[in-house]
Structure 1
Amino acid sequence: MRSAFQAVEHRVQTLSGISEVGAKLMGAALGSDTPKLVVTRATGPSLRSEREGFRDLFKGAMEALRNPRSHGPHFADDPEEAQEMLALANMLMRRLDEAEANLGAQLTEAVGTP
C-alpha cells in the first residue's frame, strides 16, 4: 500500500518540479489559483471548489494513508480496504495523467509546434 502512495508522491514531484514531500508537496503543486498541476475538469464557479477538493484528496492521501505506512506502527491492512486504497491511488494517478497531458499541451503551445 505504501508503495502506491509513494508512487503518487514521486509523480507529483516529477511533474511539478517541486522537491517537497507529503502534504506540503500537494499544497504547493495543487493549491493556489494557478496550480503547477491542473488535475481538475470543472470550469466556471465549480473550478475553485474542485481544485481545493482535489488538493485536499491528494494531501489526505499523504497524511492518512502514506504517512502511517511509512512511519509506523505497521498494522496489516484489511484486504477489502487495501483494494479501496489502491483504487484511490489509481484515481489520483489518472488525474495526474490529465495534468501531464495539460503540461504537454502548454509546452507545445509555448514552442509553437503542432
Structure 2
Amino acid sequence: MSSYDTSFRARLPDIKAAVATALTNLRSAVEILKERVGEGINGTDGVIRAYQGLELHKEISRAASQLYLDGHYANAVEAAVKALNGLVRLRSGLELDGTTLMEKAFSPNSPLLKFNPLACQSDKDEQKGYMQMFAGAVSGLRNPRAHGFVKDDPERALEFIAFVSLLAKILDEATA
C-alpha cells in the first residue's frame, strides 16, 4: 500500500463529513430557492405574497385586488385601468373616456390637471410625458383586455397594476 493510499484512508472520515456537510448545505439552498421562487399553486405563491405587500392606491386596490387574488389576472389589470379612468374623469370633470380623456385632461398646452407649474419647456415635457403614460395605460393595458382575450401571468399583472397604482398616486398630487 502506497503512502497516498494510507493518507487518503486516514482522511476518509474527514472527506465523508465534508461531503455530508456540502449535501446539507445544498439541500438548504434548494429549499431557500424553492421558497423564493414559490413552488406552491401554479408557482405563484411568491408573486402573490409580493402583491399582498404592495401599498396600492386605495381605489386601484379596491377595483383589482380581489380579482387578482382569485387568479383573474387580466380582469384585474383591466379593472385597475378602468378605476384609473374613472378617477381622471372625476378629477377633471370631463365626460370623456380613454385616450381622449387623458389627452384633454393632461394636455401640455391647456391642461385641466397639472403635474407642475408649466413654467418652462421641461415642465411642459413632463406634463406631456405623464399625459402619454396615462393614455398608454388605457390604450395599451385596458383596451386589449376589454376587446379581446388576454391571458396575463401573475407577475406581469402585478407589474401592470403597480404601474396603474403609481399613476393614480401621481394623479392625487395633480392640481386643477
2:139 aligned to which of 58, 63, 79: 63
Q: Measure the CA separation in 2 of the matches of 1:33 and 1:7.
A: 26
Q: Measure the CA separation in 1 of the matches of 2:165 and 2:118.
A: 20
- Matched with 1:75 is 150
1:91 aligns with 2:166: yes
Q: Secondary structure at the match of 1:77?
A: coil
How far did 1:71 drift?
A: 1.3
1:32 aligned to which of 80, 105, 108: 108
1:8-57 C-alpha deviation (Å, 9 max, x unpaired)? 00010011011111001000000132310113488533101101111100
Pair 18,41 (structure 1): closer, same or farther in 2 beyond 3 Å: same
After the TM superposition, which parts of structure 1 deviate over 3 Å for at least 4 consecutive aligned residues?
Answer: 40-45
**Residue identity in the other structure for 1:93:** A
CA contact (8 A) 1:26 1:59 kept: yes
**Residue identity in the other structure for 2:162:** A
CA contact (8 A) 1:40 1:54 kept: no
Percent identity at matched positions? 36
1:71-94 C-alpha deviation (Å, 9 max, x unpaired)? 11x221021111110111011101
Taking structure 1 as the reference length, what is the TM-score of the superposition? 0.80
Q: Which runs of 5+ in 1 are unaligned?
A: 104-114
Greater relative contact order (CA < 8 Å, ≥ 6 in sequence): 1
Q: Measure the CA separation in 2 of the matches of 1:84 and 1:63.
A: 17
Count of residues paired in the alignment: 100
Pair 41,2 (structure 1): closer, same or farther in 2 beyond 3 Å: farther
Q: Which runs of 5+ in 2 are unaligned?
A: 1-76
- Matched with 2:85 is 9
Q: Secondary structure at the match of 1:60?
A: helix
**Residue identity in the other structure for 2:160:** M
Q: Measure the CA separation in 2 of the matches of 1:32 and 1:45.
A: 10
Question: What do you get for the CA RMSD once the two structures are aligned?
Answer: 1.6
Q: Measure the CA separation in 1 of the matches of 2:117 and 2:160.
A: 23
